[in-house]
Amino acid sequence: MMGQLASALAHEINQPLGAIANFASGLVARLQQGAEPATLLDGAEQIAKQALRAAEVLRRLRDFTRKGAPRRELTDLNGLVRDAVSLIEPDVRRHNVDLRLRLATPSPSVLIDGVQVVQVVLNLAINGVEAMNGRGRLSLEGSRQNGHVALAVTDTGHGIPAERRQQVFEPFYSGKPNGTGLGLTIAERIVAAHGGRIEIDSEPGRGTRVTLLFPLAGG
């Protein structure tokens, strides 16, 4: 795993570092030619953008390798999901996505680290919104299943081919051009640390359904 992480990290970091070097060299050449400062703005902005991209990769890696057990508290899962939805609503509106919320009743209680689980729900919801490229339907549905509480996040996006479904949990694997490839890796680790699991059901061209399963408090 460490070897895979090191190799993937080198690849991910080399891309923005290479872009920074190219843009910086271009700026030096243009300055030597007497270019006006105003014409250099785009290159400087690109350098800043690529530096932030590299920093994001490192931040995600730090989150992935951070040790320590989750701080679990008895939590109203429906309330937690509503909190997560309130955070993504501006992004949902901006992309003209139809958001549907159908939660389990009565509201299930789970023993979880609320901050970590909100992070997982946000990651899945944002992935769903981006997969639809504007317009579509994002659904969050809660239910009980054999001593577990299930939360399904479903989009109507481009879907995931069968041969790539297991790859989505691998570190640094991403189907997005600028993705860091650690979101689902971290999500799976968080859910597993809570004694739960993640299931993916997807069909290319029709969308993806990601289900989180957590043990109900008290079994």
Residue 155 is part of a domain; what is its CATH number?
3.30.565.10
DSSP 8-state assignment for residue 104: -
212 has a pLDDT exceeding 80: yes
Instruction: Kindly state whether residues 153 and 176 are assigned to the same domain.
Output: yes
The pLDDT value recorded for residue 174 is 55
How far is 182 from 170, CA to CA, in rounded Å? 8
| pLDDT of the residue at 93 | 83
Q: Are residues 89 and 51 in the same domain?
A: no
In terms of domains, do 93 and 56 share one? no
The pairing of beta strand 207-215 with beta strand 197-203: antiparallel
- Which one has a higher pLDDT value, 4 or 211? 211
Residues 92 and 176 in one domain: yes
Cβ-based neighbours of 24, under 8 Å, separated by 6 or more: 43, 47
Residues spanned by the domain of 89:
73-215
Task: Say whether both 101 and 147 belong to one domain.
Answer: yes
pLDDT at 179: 47
The better pLDDT of the pair 164, 11 is held by 164
What's the mean per-residue pLDDT of the chain?
A: 81
Predicted confidence (pLDDT) at residue 51 exceeds the cutoff of 50: yes
Are 152 and 140 in contact by the 8 Å Cβ rule? The answer is yes
Length of the chain (residues): 219
Do 39 and 79 lie in a common domain? Answer: no
So what's the pLDDT on residue 88? 82
8 with 31, same domain: the answer is yes
Residues 191 and 93 in one domain: yes
Instruction: Give yes or no for a cis peptide into 37 (omega within 30° of 0).
Output: no
Q: Tell me the pLDDT tens digit for each residue of 124-166.
A: 888 888 888 777 999 999 998 888 899 999 999 888 777 676 7
Q: Could you give phi then psi for residue 215, rounded to 5 degrees?
A: -65, 135
Query: Residue 90's pLDDT is what?
Result: 75
Q: Check pLDDT > 70 for residue 169.
A: no
Same-domain check for residues 133 and 189: yes
Same domain, 94 and 182: yes
| pLDDT (average), residues 25-38 | 90
pLDDT tens digit sequence for 60-88 = 666 555 555 567 888 888 998 998 888 78
* More confident site: 159 or 44: 44
Do 81 and 60 fall into the same domain? Answer: no
Question: 106 and 208 share a domain?
Answer: yes
- Tokens 């579509």 map to which residue? 136
Q: Residue 67's pLDDT is what? A: 54
Boundary-marking domain end, from 49, 65, 81: 65
* pLDDT surpasses 90 at 211: yes
Whether residue 181 is predicted with pLDDT greater than 60 in this model: the reply is no
Domain boundary among the residues 65, 96, 118 is at 65
The residue from 13, 40, 65 where one domain ends is 65
In this structure, are residues 82 and 99 in contact, taking their beta carbons and an 8 Å threshold? no
Count of structural domains, the chain: 2
User: Considering the entire predicted model, what is its pTM?
Assistant: 0.64
Percent of the chain predicted with pLDDT > 90: 21
